[in-house]
Homo-oligomer: A and B are copies of this chain.
Amino acid sequence: MSRQTVSRVINYRPDVSQETRQRVLDVITDLGYRPSSVARTLAQGRSNTLGVVGFGLEYFGPTRVLAGIERRSSERSLSLQLGLLDNVLPQRDLGRVEQVMNDLLSRQVDGIIWAVPGHVESTEWVAARFEKMAIPTVFLNRNPSPSQDVVAMDGRHGGRLAVDHLLAQGYRRIGTVSGPNGWWEAEEREAGWREALQGARVDDAEDLRIEGQWSAASGEQAFRVLYRKAPDIEAVFAANDQMALGVVHAARQLGLQVPKDLAVVGFDDIDEAPYFHPSLTTVRQDLNALGTLAVDRIYRKMLVQQPEEDRQGGISWVRPRLVVRESSLRD
């Protein structure tokens, strides 16, 4: 029997007779034969593999997104080739970036999901880097661009949800501990805070904004500074749950009770949030959905033969929702 016939069988081609197919299958299981996807990739030029450029594994968000990507990929029978970056600014660690990209490309991945958090100082660079690349790419959580496919969480909406909730309870002096300057997600959440306040005709809020670094320690530190500057602050929207935890911690040490003296809302809804003391009101993101969407999106791009055709790009938003717990409830 020829190798061709075998190839046809393992590729589920219809043009093989039933008995031949069965005979081949029997021998295959007998011999424990395992088709080499390496050879197959070389011959076909495609690998059924997705390249994912991620950002560390120390943060909650990126990790959960990756989990979503992994699950959806395996459902679609795609393997993952993973490369992680430690710096939000790829251009600051060119060596590593080139190593990762090179690895992905030389392995013939069929598409790339760029899951490194967006940052003002990197958007230009990333756009340029991918400009001439012929490979289908989907970007996660960065600013929309007409020429790119982006899948993102609507942090602005989330910020509005959080602040509207606080406003609805009568709070007016509402501050925010934002994420690090320059991070796209941080700026979106902050914009949501600002828009909600403007919508309620609350002015002079800019002095109630302070930068954090995502960590609980930075949240604690930030609130200390904020409180010194504006002791009349009534509520805080923190751009993630860890910082919210830090804010609560600082408030307690400053003799403030949460939520009695200070209302706090976080962002993410990490698993521990319901068990904090007080339990934390927060904005929940469906990170898993984000990953799923990214895979589906790139999967479609991969199927299209003409790379020129649906270059339309565009952004898909995933909307977060508010989860109200104790930390924001005025008595």
Contacts and interface: CB of A to CB of B under 8 A. Distances in A.
Interface string A99-142: 10011011110000000000000000000000000000000000
Contacts of A35: 106
Contact of A275 (B34, B37, B246, B274): B246
Nearest to A250: B275
A57 B66 CA distance: 8
Q: Is the interface of A mostly helix, strand, loop or mixed?
A: helix
A66 to B, nearest CB: 6
Contacts of A58: 64, 67
Contacts of A36: 42, 106, 108
A29 B41 CA distance: 25
Contacts of A271: 215-216, 242
A70 B99 contact: no
Interface stretch (A12-20, A76-84, A152-160, A315-323): A76-84
A314 B138 CA distance: 44
A54 B276 CA distance: 29
Contact of A67 (B57, B245, B276): B57
B42 A70 contact: no
| From A105, A107, A252, A270, residue with most partner B Cβ within 10 Å | A107
A39 interface: yes
A64 B56 CA distance: 10
Interface string A4-45: 000000000000000000000000000000111111011000
B107 A37 contact: yes
B42 A38 contact: yes
A161 B270 CA distance: 29
A122 to B, nearest CB: 20
A47 B272 CA distance: 41
A96 interface: yes
A83 B70 CA distance: 8
Contacts of A34: 102, 105-106
A259 to B, nearest CB: 14
A203 to B, nearest CB: 33
Interface in A219-255: 220, 242, 245-246, 248-249, 252
A99 B57 CA distance: 24
19 contacts: A34-B105, A34-B106, A38-B41, A38-B107, A38-B108, A57-B57, A58-B64, A70-B82, A70-B84, A74-B99, A79-B83, A80-B81, A80-B82, A215-B271, A242-B272, A242-B275, A245-B272, A276-B277, A277-B277
Given A36-B108, A242-B272, 16 more contacts: A34-B105, A37-B103, A38-B38, A38-B41, A38-B42, A38-B106, A57-B66, A57-B67, A58-B67, A79-B81, A79-B83, A216-B272, A216-B275, A245-B272, A249-B275, A252-B277
